[in-house]
Amino acid sequence: MKIAIASDHAGFELKQNILEYFVNDKTIEFIDYGISENKPADYPDYGFKAAQAVANQDCDRGILICGSGLGMSMVGNRVKGVRAALCHTEKLAELSRRHNNANVLVLAGRFIAKYLAYDIIKVWLKTEFEGGRHQRRVGKIEKFDNK
């Protein structure tokens, strides 16, 4: 699985920790869309690049990180074909995949410890979309995207 990942300065430290986790995992390929150093940065500049990589199917899924997760959620959900979910717990990560087929996970760099982030990511990556009645709902989102 190939993951697009991006952060602003408030999510930089958590992003770097996640990248270390990915390197050690060896089953996850990733593309880092920035930032590359911990200096002030505007989250849309990097979030849009990673979200677009998911929408274009250059990457299977994405992870966006900013301080609260709110800004990156807004960015991700502006990109046609992206369903970004801000998740603070493993259960929310599971539901975002099972019920909403979220293809972008958003994390709050200032509110989530790195070990919780790892657990959230593990659940999010392994959980499959249930389809069924949930597909009808996701289909309505896709239909709106295509208007």
Active-site residue list: 66, 99
CA distances from 49 to 4, 57, 130 (A): 9, 12, 28
Which positions ≥6 away from 107 have C-beta within 8 Å? 11, 14, 63, 64, 65, 69, 86, 87, 117, 120
Name the strands in the sheet holding 84-86, side by side, starting at the edge strand that comes first in the sequence: 29-32, 2-7, 61-66, 104-108, 84-86
Q: Compute the C-alpha angle 96/97/100, nearest 5°.
A: 65
